[in-house]
């Protein structure tokens, strides 16, 4: 049991609350598409299980790969030296095996969803694993992370419908800029360490003050796509409640993180964004299901 808990800690399983709710939004939009087009609701329960399995295995592979690749840097950084691999709790070779198993499970799950998801699974896997290398050569690494998580809503939508549509894509774009913004805030903690190791990030490249301004701009873009989805998706008043909470949490996290006070970065990163994701998705899915079945 302890071994399982160590692997949950390795991949920061609690951080699933960021992308999973958006995957469920994409899935609900897919259900709405079937209803509007009078298509049969075939194997919906199985597809939901497979989508969740894809989310868990893909994220586990990506997070473990990041920890595996960064293990030498993590050992040198006082903030990250306690992580499972540098601390010797999980051996590097076992972490690599964990990555391979989760990658195989992810591709296998897509095979049982539909053809397009299966064909695109190597692309998705490449994007989420490639992120771990980007810190070595570009400060745009935060955007690559955002792109990786943004595959959740459009991927779940494809799982149900097998086709692309503008509305789930708008949610994907919102995720890109939302995740990029809060990852910039999180990276503020390692400015000096990143500089000392020649690692790239927006804070280490542009400085603390400018990084916070860039994060604000990224979150403005995210909110803009959330608002655009409201108008183009034909949503109703319930969506607006989620929109207000989402935007409110964006404003809140920027209000508590200051250039001269980074003590609340963890609250901004985990608490504010966790609330934003869970509450927003609950409102949006409720709106979708209400208009689909009632």
Q: Which residue has the higher pLDDT, 1 or 87?
A: 87
Is the pLDDT reported for residue 87 higher than 80?
yes
1 pLDDT above the threshold of 70: no
In the predicted model, is pLDDT for residue 166 greater than 90? yes
4 occurs within a structural domain: no
Q: What is the pLDDT confidence band of residue 14, given thresholds at 50, 70 and 90?
A: confident
Global pTM reads 0.95
Distance in angstroms (rounded) separating the CA atoms of residues 195 and 197: 5
Residue at 9 is within a domain: no
Per-residue pLDDT, 4: 86
Domain with 31 in it: 18-293
Residue 237 located in a structural domain: yes
> CA 245, CA 32: separation in Å to the nearest integer?
23
**Distance separating alpha carbons of residues 30 and 264, to the nearest angstrom:** 38
What is the pLDDT at residue 247? Answer: 97
Cα dihedral value 160, 163, 167, 173, nearest 10: 100
Residue 3 lies in a domain: no
Per-residue pLDDT, 176: 98
Question: What is the average pLDDT across 96-116?
Answer: 97
Q: What's 144's domain CATH number?
A: 1.10.357.140
The reply to whether 141 falls in a domain is yes
Q: Is the predicted pLDDT of residue 294 greater than 90, yes or no?
A: no
pLDDT confidence band for 268 (50 / 70 / 90)? confident
pLDDT the model gives residue 20:
95
Counting the structural domains of the chain, the total is 1
Which of 183, 208, 204, 182 has its CA nearest to residue 194?
Answer: 204
Q: How far is CA 189 from CA 66, 131, 185, 197, in A?
A: 18, 19, 8, 14
Inside any domain, residue 2: no
The answer to whether position 11 is within a domain reads no
- Taking the CB of residue 121, how many other CB atoms lie within 10 A of it? 21
pLDDT digits over 199-231, tens only?
999 999 999 999 999 999 999 999 999 999 999
**78 within a domain of the structure (yes/no):** yes
Q: Which stretch of 87-101, 168-182, 261-275 has the lowest confidence by average pLDDT?
A: 261-275
Instruction: Render 258-291 in DSSP notation, one character per residue.
Output: BTTB-TTHHIIIIIIHHHHHHHHHHHHHHHHHHH
pLDDT at 152 over 70: yes
pLDDT band per the 50, 70, 90 thresholds, residue 41: confident
Mean pLDDT of 51-76: 96
Nearest alpha-carbon partner for 219 in 255, 189, 176: 176
Q: In this structure, what token pair is assigned to residue 222?
A: 């995210």
DSSP state of 8: H
Mean pLDDT taken over the chain: 94
Q: How confident is the model at residue 116 (pLDDT cuts 50, 70, 90)?
A: very high
Q: Which residue has the tokens 């183009």?
A: 232
């Amino acid at each position: 049991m302890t071994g399982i808990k160590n692997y949950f800690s390795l991949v920061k399983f609690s951080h699933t609350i960021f992308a999973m709710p958006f995957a469920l939004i994409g899935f609900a939009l897919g259900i709405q598409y079937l209803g509007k087009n009078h298509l049969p609701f075939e194997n919906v329960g199985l597809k939901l299980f497979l989508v969740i399995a894809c989310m868990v295995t893909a994220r586990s592979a990506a997070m473990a790969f990041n920890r595996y690749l960064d293990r030498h840097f993590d050992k040198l950084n006082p903030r990250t030296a306690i992580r499972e691999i540098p601390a010797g709790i999980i051996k590097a070779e076992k972490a690599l095996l964990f990555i391979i198993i989760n990658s195989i499970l992810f591709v296998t799950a897509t095979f049982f969803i539909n053809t397009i998801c299966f064909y695109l699974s190597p692309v998705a896997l490449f994007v989420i694993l490639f992120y771990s290398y980007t810190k070595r050569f570009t400060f745009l690494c935060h955007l690559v992370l955002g792109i990786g998580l943004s595959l959740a809503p459009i991927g779940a939508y494809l799982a149900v419908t097998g086709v692309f549509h503008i509305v789930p894509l708008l949610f994907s774009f919102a995720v890109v800029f939302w995740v990029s913004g809060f990852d910039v805030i999180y990276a503020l903690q390692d400015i000096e360490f990143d500089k000392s190791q020649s690692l790239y990030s927006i804070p280490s490249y542009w400085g603390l003050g400018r990084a916070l301004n860039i994060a604000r701009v990224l979150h403005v873009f995210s909110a803009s796509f959330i608002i655009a989805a409201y108008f183009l998706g034909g949503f109703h008043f319930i969506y607006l409640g989620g929109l207000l909470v989402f935007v409110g949490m964006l404003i809140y996290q920027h209000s508590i993180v200051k250039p001269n006070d980074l003590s609340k970065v963890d609250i901004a990163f985990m608490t504010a964004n966790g609330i934003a994701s869970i509450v927003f998705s609950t409102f949006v899915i409720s709106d979708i299901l209400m208009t689909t079945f009632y």
